[in-house]
Chain A
Amino acid sequence: MQSQHTISVLVDNKPGVLARVAGLFSRRGYNIESLAVSITDNPLVSRMTLVVNGDEATVEQITKQLHKLIDVSKVQDYLGVPIVARELALIKVNAEVKDRTALMQLVEVFRGRIIDMSEKTFVIELTGGGEKIDAFEQLLGVYGVRELVRTGRIAMARGTRGI
């Protein structure tokens, strides 16, 4: 059965680690839906959050192969684990004077922020789950989205549970 897995990976903060992880996915024919990488509270360790679709056996094989990479210290598949997950989007949308009030209301409803304004455009910052951002993007469609960038999902377990 196919399902969406959010996988967190702790890796040594060394050159080439991203290539090793990404290469492992491509050469074994697995698709990555999204990938986010950053440093952690420990400067020697980076954390990657991967979103992949696949059946249980496939994802289990992915996580085992990830474990085999020398630079990987921890792999956690969050399927079935209560997590908080967010991504960030920046959206440049057409903002004619006549549309601005409506746009600002829309941004407020979605708890986004306008972080840049020009005579013709807004840049809106929005965080949330993927579906919320999808919905917002769709509502902005009538004004004309000029540019859109999303970070990919980051996640952690709820409560005291660690990775």
Chain B
Amino acid sequence: MKMVGSRALLECLQREGVDTIFGYPGGAVIPIYDMIYQFPAIRHILVRHEQGAGHMAEGYALATGKVGVCLATSGPGATNLVTPIADAMMDSVPIVAITGQVKTASIGTDAFQEADITGITMPITKHNWLVKDVNKLPEIIAEAFHIARSGRPGPVLVDVPVDVCRAEIDFEPIDAVEIPSYRPTYEGHKRQIKKAANLIAAAKRPLLYVGGGAIHSHAENEVLDLAVKANVPVTTTLKGLGAFPETHPLALGMLGMHGTAYANYAVHECDLLIAVGARFDDRVTGKADEWVPRAKIIHIDIDPAEIGKVLQPDVPIVGDVRNVLIELLKMVEPRPAKQWVARIQELKRQYPLFYAPDGALHGQQVIQEIGKATNHRAVIVTDVGQHQMWAAQFYGFERSHQMITSGGLGTMGFGLPASIGAQFGRPNEQVFCITGDGSIQMCIQELMVASIYKLPIKICILNNQYLGMVRQWQELFWESRYSSVNLESSPDFLKLADAYGAHGIRVTRPEDIRAALDESIAVTDRPTVIDFRIAKEENVFPMIPAGGTVSQMVVKRPAHFGPLDPYISGEHIADDCDEDDDVEIMPAQPPLPVTVN
């Protein structure tokens, strides 16, 4: 069938199942925008800044597991997508970015609104294409979606010159994509899986360390089955939150720099670490060569380049983590591990997440109340900073695709647009955007989109009038020199909500949190902005300093717990075990928590 390139492009998108595109028009993409009129099944969401379009595509992808699509014009439109694309690369988010380009003959001449976006995004895409021949367009779009969603997912970019959009093509749909040089490994090596099963059988203190890969591969049931069958406690990364229900007795919550103390102690004490779709990020390991000092490591990941990148595993298994876990489950025998599970429970009792109940409005309490008000079922989208860590620590995630956050790149401004993308992808669910007074101002313009489409997103600003995380580092590591972190001069967020057509609520006292949340939940025809005026100089604890070890962890504990519970002492554990007990004696040098009260 003869048609122009722009129609072929949209035909291809429709065939890929695209129902929503987030974009912003401009000269080079007018042919595409003109054609969108003729595709009623594809909804175009007009954003207010291309960065918003990129993060919306990410939020859509992370909430649905489908590929997100964003569209921008050449030059500045394309360069405004760079941050979301880099964000998607770090967090393995499948998005397809389509950019306009100046006409083929003008490429390389510094034409108006020209930028070499394929060159610019080469290091931050899984792959990208400049379409020079309209006849290649269907093949390239098919490859783009295939590469974005298969293997380790990631962003791709297709740059389409304006004359290619207007050129004629004899369109034939592409049915199957075959890229000989790109064949991800989905099945784990049987012998390696057997070795892993043997290590699990021999382990006395095994620990599952679950990352975002488990969510991408939909392995949450298999993670649960393995944990229950072999009695293996589970800690998740920031991106893995939701892969294991946090109400489960084996759940340890998040680990790492601001992870729970008990998760970090469990990592320190375990004798087998089973890494599932996780990449040993520096925010997880701190000083990598002193991390998991006593453990053998099984590393299951679909990306061979992650194996051995940070720590050399004893048993590497390359494959889709769900497939590998299914095979592993067949070989793993049930095991009781009573002592180890009891130890975990004791650590959880001794080092709970804690903030001072002093009557002030605490961000942690706001998050806890959101958890209660939504019965831990809402989709939580965060920005980046202290509020993000409190959300990770205190919400209590129960299912996958529930926590949407910028982990690897740490992109302030991600939250609001990503929550809009998430709400478009999951229209029937409650979406909460947990943000800070710094982060919200980085993409505040997208509030208009939420209002226009009557999206009932609850935007909870944990407003401490500081760039709180930077201020915390300055307080702890830079002798409280608060350089350029003061945000006291900010807009009145209630007036701003009003200006954008959103509902606004301000909360200054802890006793008003729940009423405000209930009020926001009752508003279903527009977004609600809640300005929580939280304690100004609150810090996120526990905290392991960057590049540090568990022995440097700063833990905040209730005063009546006393400075150091004797149970943490290694000798005490040794005494606690019977002679014929099969639990190994804990080493004499336990992690020493520093108590801050």
Contact surface of A with B, Cβ cutoff 8 Å: 12, 15-16, 19-20, 23-24, 27, 57, 60-61, 64-65, 67-73
* CB-defined contacts of B307 to chain A, threshold 8 Å: 64
B179 contacts A65, CB within 8 Å? no
A90: min CB distance to chain B, Å: 30
Q: Which residues of B contact A67 (CB under 8 A)?
A: 304-305
| Apart from A64-B304, A64-B307: 19 A-B pairs, beta carbons within 8 A | A15-B130, A16-B122, A19-B119, A20-B122, A23-B122, A57-B308, A60-B308, A61-B305, A61-B309, A65-B305, A67-B304, A67-B305, A68-B303, A68-B305, A69-B127, A70-B126, A70-B127, A70-B179, A70-B182
A45 (CB) vs chain B CBs: closest residue:
B181
User: Is B305 within 8 A of A19, CB to CB?
Assistant: no
**Max chain A CB contacts within 10 Å: which of B119, B123, B181, B303?**
B181
Residue total for B at the interface (Cβ-Cβ under 8 A): 18
B274 sits at the interface (CB 8 A): no
A23 to B127, CA, bound (A): 13
Q: Could you tell me if A72 and B181 are in contact, using CB atoms closer than 8 angstroms? A: yes
Q: From A16, which residue of chain B is reached at the shortest CB distance? A: B118
Q: Name 26 interchain pairs, CB-CB below 8 A, sorted by A.
A: A12-B181, A16-B122, A16-B130, A19-B119, A19-B122, A23-B122, A24-B123, A27-B123, A57-B308, A60-B308, A61-B305, A61-B309, A64-B304, A64-B307, A65-B305, A68-B303, A68-B305, A69-B127, A70-B126, A70-B127, A70-B179, A70-B181, A70-B182, A72-B181, A73-B180, A73-B181
Q: Residue B21 at the A interface, CB < 8 A? A: no
Contacts of B147 in A (CB 8 A): 70
A24 CA to B125 CA in the complex, in Å?
A: 12
Cross-interface CB contact of A23 among B123, B180, B305, B308, cutoff 8 Å: B123
Give A72 to B127 CA distance when docked, in angstroms: 12
User: What are the nearest 9 A-B pairs in CB distance?
Assistant: A73-B181, A64-B305, A70-B127, A27-B123, A70-B182, A23-B122, A65-B305, A64-B304, A68-B305
B130 proximity list for chain A (CB < 8 A): 15-16
Interface contact A71-B308, CB-CB below 8 Å = no
Which B residues between 109 and 123 are near A, CB-CB below 8 angstroms?
118-119, 122-123
Q: For the complex, what is the distance from the CA of A57 to the CA of B310, rounded to whole Å?
A: 10
B118 surroundings in chain A (CB, below 8 A): 16
Given the complex, which residues of A lie within 8 Å of B309, measured CB to CB?
Answer: 61
User: Cα distance A73–B180 when bound, in Å?
Assistant: 7
Query: Would you give the shortest CB distance from B307 to chain A, in whole angstroms?
Result: 8
Nearest residue, chain A, Cβ from B147: A70
* Closest chain A CB from B235 CB (angstroms): 26
- How far does the alpha carbon of A30 sit from the alpha carbon of B165 in the complex, in Å? 39
B293-315 CB mask vs A (1 if < 8 Å, else 0) is: 00000000001110111000000
Distance A109 CA – B308 CA, assembled complex (angstroms):
48
CB distance from B531 to the nearest CB of A (A): 41
Contact flags B267-286 to A (C-beta < 8 A → 1, else 0): 00000000000000000000
Chain B residues positioned under 8 Å from A19 (CB to CB): 119, 122
Q: Which residues of B contact A71 (CB under 8 A)?
A: 127, 181
Closest to B303 in A: A68
The minimal Cβ–Cβ distance linking B135 to chain A, given in whole angstroms, is: 16
Q: In the complex, what's the smallest C-beta–C-beta distance from B521 to chain A, in angstroms? A: 44
A12 to B130, CA, bound (A): 15
In the complex, chain A residues whose CB is within 8 Å of the CB of B182:
70
Cα-based distance from A69 to B182 in the complex (angstroms):
8
Within the complex, the shortest CB–CB distance from B182 to chain A, in Å, comes to 5
Chain B proximity of A53: nearest CB distance (Å) = 20
Tell me the B126-182 residues at the A interface (CB within 8 Å). 126-127, 130, 147, 179-182
Instruction: Looking at the assembled complex, report how far the CB atom of B299 sits from the nearest CB atom of chain A, in whole angstroms.
Output: 13
Which chain A positions have C-beta within 8 A of B304? 64, 67
A71 to B126, CA, bound (A): 11
Question: CA of A68 to CA of B151 in the docked complex: distance in angstroms?
Answer: 10
B residues in contact with A73, CB < 8 Å: 180-181
In angstroms, Cα B121 to Cα A27, docked, is 12
A23 to B116 alpha-carbon distance, docked (Å) = 15
**Nearest Cβ distance between residue A67 and chain B, in whole angstroms?**
7
Which B169-200 residues have C-beta < 8 A from chain A?
Answer: 179-182
B305-333 vs A, CB cutoff 8 Å, 1 = contact: the mask equals 10111000000000000000000000000
Which residues of A sit under 8 angstroms from B180, Cβ to Cβ?
73
Q: Complex: how many Å from CA A69 to CA B123? A: 10
* Residue on A nearest B181 in the bound complex, by CB: A73
Give A20 to B181 CA distance when docked, in angstroms.
15
**B308 / chain A contacts, CB cutoff of 8 Å:** 57, 60-61
When C-beta atoms are compared, the residue in chain A nearest to B122 turns out to be A23
In the complex, residue of chain B having the shortest beta-carbon distance to the beta carbon of A28? B123
Residues of B473-500 contacting chain A, CB below 8 A: none
CB distance from A46 to the nearest CB of B (A): 12
The minimal Cβ–Cβ distance linking A21 to chain B, given in whole angstroms, is 11
**A20 vs B182: C-alpha distance when bound (angstroms):** 15
- A16 contacts across to B, CB distance below 8 A: 118, 122, 130
| In the bound complex, CA of A16 to CA of B130 (Å) | 10
Shortest beta-carbon distance from A72 to chain B in Å: 6
Chain B residues within an 8 Å CB radius of A24: 123
For A20, the chain B residues whose CB sits under 8 A away are 122
Q: In the complex, what distance in Å separates the CA atom of A64 from the CA atom of B305?
A: 5
**Assembled-state Cα–Cα distance A19/B126 (Å):** 14
Chain B, 199-223, contact with A by CB distance < 8 Å: what is the 0/1 string? 0000000000000000000000000
Whole-angstrom distance between the alpha carbons of A73 and B182 in the complex? Answer: 8
Taking the nearest CB of chain B, how far is it from the CB of A64, in angstroms? 4
Please measure, in the bound complex, the distance between the C-alpha atom of A20 and the C-alpha atom of B303, giving whole angstroms. 19
A45 to chain B, nearest CB (A): 10
CA distance A72 to B147 in the complex (A): 14
C-alpha spacing A19/B125, complex, angstroms: 14
When distances are taken between beta carbons in the complex, the residues of chain B under 8 Å from A23 are 122-123
The answer for the CA separation of A68 and B181 in the assembled complex, in Å, is 9
Closest A residue, CB atoms, query B306:
A64
In Å, the complex CA distance between A59 and B122 comes to 21
Counting chain B CB atoms within 10 Å of each CB, the highest count among A19, A64, A68, A73 belongs to A68
Nearest-neighbour CB distance to chain A for B97, whole angstroms, equals 16
Q: In the assembly, what is the distance between CA of A60 and CA of B312, in Å?
A: 12
Q: CA A61 – CA B303 in complex, angstroms?
A: 12
Which residues of chain B come closer than 8 Å to A68, judged between CB atoms?
303, 305
